[in-house]
Chains A and B, each alone.
Chain A
Amino acid sequence: MTDVVSAPPTTVAPPPPAPDPTPVPPATASRRRRAGRALGVPVGAVVIALLVGAIVIAVEGHPPLDVYRSMVEGVTGSRFGWRDTLTRACPVVLIAVGLSFAYRARVYNIGPEGQLLVGATAATAWATGPAGSLPGPVLIVTSIAMGAVAGAAWAGLAAWFGNRFGASVVISTLLLVYVAEALLAYAVRVPLKDPAGILPQSRVLGGAELPVIGDVRLHVGVLLAAVVAPVAWLVLQRTRFGFRVRAMGHNSEALEANELPAARIATRVLLLSGGLAGIAGYIQVAGVQGRLIQGLSPGFGFAAITVALVGRLHPVGVVVSGVLLSAMLIGAESAQRDFALPVSAVSMLQALVVVLVVCGDALAYRRWRT
């Protein structure tokens, strides 16, 4: 966690070895015990949150069980529940996969929200501008690339500030979110604005919109996320780059002695996480919104931080936590509609789950007693 606020690894004495983000259980722990912990904590957290929620719901004057049934049915009960769950999880999972590389290398990019917005803006500029006449598939692929490059560049800016000037990555990525918001506001008001309307929004993406599958029209961005996660796992486990990322998280000094400047790895993971955030931005525009609008992301970039860490920085864990948190949200919306629950009551429960999971994790993996 040290370089959360310090200068990048090249300029500062490396941190003392820190607890592994994915704690290795003692050798005696069986696989089953590990699985128990991996499942037990989130399940326990959800149960406690539901019990607390039951009290809140009862105070609001609704029968808790009916409300919870409505939540479950919101996800499983309709044709669109599972599609909505996956669609909502898609950008968050993509970003969180990138973050799991960065955070493993102890490079704390907390501004993927900004990278997402810039990626979406650049990709829209490309798709509605110079590339508009390209044939569909080429247009989509180049737009994705454009989103990735722009998102990576935005994160790369933070890497450059860090490596060249010693500015903290955490703070520069965070500040760049605000700058990206202003950039997006300008883009939809002036250069990218749809001349046919008066609203601050881009033209419709048309041919650059993502193809959809099935009668529920699941956009293919979801498939992309589903492919990216296992590939990321392979990269992390089987490649030199993955090894270096993991090594940097453990001991950047040793890495530097034998391998490669830590600053290089820091730059690469920032580019990677920024690029994935940029792709997520384009997917949100081309798969869900159809146009670039200011309210493009309800904080996907921030949600992804939680998803990445709750998923224990493991690409597969990230998919699981991303989909589960998304399902909770979809279910909660349904309950909110059915019972006119205040949205704040629902958000409270979601936040409670996050806090409980992270505390439960710490307790379950505690290997020491003072």
Chain B
Amino acid sequence: MASTKRCTRTIAASLASFALLVTACGDDDAEAVDAVAEEEATATGSAASEELPTLAIILSGQVNDYSWNQAAYDGAEALKEEGVIADFAYQESVADADVERATRAYAEDGYDVVVGHSFNYGEAIKKLAPDYPEVLFAYAGGFGDSSGNVADYAQPFHEAAYLQGILTAGAAENDIAAGAAGFDIPVCENMFQRFVEGAQLVNPDADGTYLAVGDWNDVQMGKETALGQVDGGADMFIGCGQGPTLGHIEAAKEAGGYVTGYVGDMSELAPDVVLTSTVWRLDQVFREMVADAVAGNVDPAPYYEITFAEGGMEIAINPELEGEISPEAMAIYEEELAKVESGELVVPFEVSE
């Protein structure tokens, strides 16, 4: 029974030290509260004087993913640097089940615009939005699903993909595309289809396969998916999701071919294989949202459809590989780019039933 006693003593000791700690914390707390109160006073004071709006973004992954989430972070950062917003806050790796909390917390804290940057966040945000009629909410549905004070914003990846298909076919030999998505969703499928159609302007025989990796972030499976397609001759990679695209980079390093960077400029990641990248200018999207929130135009919220022509999306061509693109393809690209930018050509978004 000696051990039992010793245990009890240990616990008593730990409880005692805990009690001490709590009281100690209590003292510090009092001071800290004052300090924070002062800080808050100054913070609100300065914000009020400048009257700049604030933006909160909720991310489904880590903020440093070189891709989808970082695009949102970079967009917000750009607005902050320009002085369009006073500040922005973000919460990362928010599961779909937890998004209601994060959104509500930002709304309660008085953020003017709260963006849930995932297509799975919609329903949860729509349910709480009526509680905060003065706040502009948004989620990444991408199909005009705005309602009440919840906005949707377009993801014109398919427009960029169409043009990237032209460029990639101008560099690749086989002109067979390897498309991959985490799971099969319309945005991804449209990216792939338009990419192939773009490639067909250069080479009418251009073709390809489009597969689901089964995960948005598993790089090894992404790579193996791509290598499987390489067996079929694929040498143009178009990925949808971070895992598939990073997998493409690894596959292309081994087997050759040209990779399309997803959402962010990925040429820095792999200068030897990333030919073009899609750069999503979310600062443009957020800018309009913030402007509407300041003007009080939050209900009914518009569909923020900032197309390629309007600067919502850009194509970054890797300068180190630009020379690989044939002049003919470049000419077709310039031509189609002009058509898209002028609005003469609307790259279609199709939903198969």
Residues of chain A at the chain B interface (Cβ within 8 Å): 25-26, 28-29, 33, 36-37, 40-41, 43-44, 47, 63, 65-66, 68-69, 74, 78, 80, 84, 88, 182, 185, 189, 195, 197-201, 204, 284, 288-291, 293-298, 300, 330, 333-334, 336-337, 340, 342-343, 363-364, 366-369
Residues of chain B at the chain A interface (Cβ within 8 Å): 1-4, 7-8, 10-12, 14-15, 17-18, 21, 25, 28-29, 32-33, 36, 62, 89-93, 95-98, 100-102, 104-106, 108-109, 119-120, 122-124, 126-127, 141-143, 145, 183-187, 214, 351, 353
CA of A199 to CA of B17, assembled, Å: 54
Do A295 and B95 touch across chains, with their CB atoms under 8 A apart?
yes
Q: Known contacts A290-B127, A296-B96, A336-B91; is A189 also within 8 Å of B105 by CB? A: no
List, in ascending order, chain A residues with CB within 8 A of B29's CB. Answer: 65, 69
List, in ascending order, chain A residues with CB within 8 A of B32's CB. Answer: 63, 65-66, 69
Which of B14, B36, B101, B145 contacts A44, CB < 8 Å? B14
Do B143 and A199 touch across chains, with their CB atoms under 8 A apart?
yes
Which of A65, A294, A337, A368 contacts B120, CB < 8 Å? A294
Task: Give the one of A37, A296, A330, A343 with max B CB within 10 A.
Answer: A343
Q: Known contacts A65-B29, A185-B183, A290-B124; is A40 also within 8 Å of B14 by CB? A: yes
Q: List 20 A-B contacts (CB under 8 A).
A: A25-B4, A47-B17, A66-B36, A69-B32, A69-B33, A69-B36, A84-B101, A88-B97, A88-B101, A185-B183, A199-B122, A288-B100, A290-B123, A290-B127, A293-B120, A296-B97, A333-B91, A340-B90, A363-B7, A363-B10
CA of A201 to CA of B102, assembled, Å: 21
CA of A364 to CA of B15, assembled, Å: 13
A192 to chain B: closest CB distance in Å? Answer: 14
Do B97 and A199 touch across chains, with their CB atoms under 8 A apart?
no
CA of A363 to CA of B15, assembled, Å: 16
Which of B25, B109, B353 contacts A65, CB < 8 Å? B25
CA of A199 to CA of B183, assembled, Å: 11
Q: Known contacts A26-B4, A44-B11, A69-B29; is A295 also within 8 Å of B101 by CB? A: no
B210 to chain A: closest CB distance in Å? Answer: 14
Q: Which residue of A lies closest to B64 (CB)?
A: A342
Q: Which residue of B lies closest to A334 (CB)?
A: B105
B211 to chain A: closest CB distance in Å? Answer: 14
List, in ascending order, chain A residues with CB within 8 A of B7's CB. Answer: 37, 363-364, 366
CA of A343 to CA of B18, assembled, Å: 27
B102 to chain A: closest CB distance in Å? Answer: 7
A51 to chain B: closest CB distance in Å? Answer: 8
Q: Known contacts A28-B1, A189-B184; is A47 also within 8 Å of B89 by CB? A: no
Task: Give the one of A43, A88, A197 with max B CB within 10 A.
Answer: A197
List, in ascending order, chain B residues with CB within 8 A of A80's CB. Answer: 101, 104-105, 108
B85 to chain A: closest CB distance in Å? Answer: 15
Do A298 and B91 touch across chains, with their CB atoms under 8 A apart?
no
Task: Give the one of B28, B101, B124, B143 with max A CB within 10 A.
Answer: B101
List, in ascending order, chain A residues with CB within 8 A of B145's CB. Answer: 197
List, in ascending order, chain B residues with CB within 8 A of A293's CB. Answer: 96, 120, 123
Q: Known contacts A284-B97, A367-B3; is A47 also within 8 Å of B18 by CB? A: yes
Do A189 and B123 touch across chains, with their CB atoms under 8 A apart?
no
B10 to chain A: closest CB distance in Å? Answer: 8
List, in ascending order, chain A residues with CB within 8 A of B101's CB. Answer: 80, 84, 88, 330, 333
16 extra interchain contacts, Cβ-Cβ under 8 A, other than A28-B4, A197-B143, A290-B127? A25-B4, A36-B12, A37-B7, A80-B104, A182-B214, A198-B142, A198-B185, A199-B122, A199-B143, A199-B185, A289-B124, A294-B120, A298-B96, A343-B62, A343-B91, A367-B3
CA of A182 to CA of B36, assembled, Å: 49
B353 to chain A: closest CB distance in Å? Answer: 8
Do B89 and A340 touch across chains, with their CB atoms under 8 A apart?
yes
Q: Which residue of A lies closest to B28 (CB)?
A: A65
B235 to chain A: closest CB distance in Å? Answer: 29
Do A337 and B143 touch across chains, with their CB atoms under 8 A apart?
no
Do B18 and A199 touch across chains, with their CB atoms under 8 A apart?
no
Please list the 10 inter-chain residue pairs (A to B) with the smallest Cβ-Cβ separation, ordered nearest first.
A298-B95, A295-B96, A40-B11, A198-B186, A290-B123, A44-B14, A343-B93, A198-B143, A291-B123, A84-B101
List, in ascending order, chain B residues with CB within 8 A of A36's CB. Answer: 8, 11-12, 15
List, in ascending order, chain A residues with CB within 8 A of B104's CB. Answer: 80
Q: Which residue of B lies closest to A364 (CB)?
A: B7
Q: Which residue of A lies closest to B131 (CB)?
A: A217
List, in ascending order, chain B residues with CB within 8 A of A29's CB. Answer: 4
CA of A125 to CA of B106, assembled, Å: 34
Do B183 and A189 touch across chains, with their CB atoms under 8 A apart?
yes
List, in ascending order, chain A residues with CB within 8 A of B126's CB. Answer: 290
CA of A95 to CA of B29, assembled, Å: 38
List, in ascending order, chain B residues with CB within 8 A of A185's CB. Answer: 183
Q: Which residue of B lies closest to A70 (CB)?
A: B36
A46 to chain B: closest CB distance in Å? Answer: 9
Q: Which residue of A lies closest to B122 (CB)?
A: A199
CA of A69 to CA of B108, assembled, Å: 18
B249 to chain A: closest CB distance in Å? Answer: 24
List, in ascending order, chain B residues with CB within 8 A of A69's CB. Answer: 29, 32-33, 36
Q: Known contacts A33-B8, A66-B36; is A288 also within 8 Å of B15 by CB? A: no
Which of A44, A65, A66, A198 contacts B18, CB < 8 Å? A44
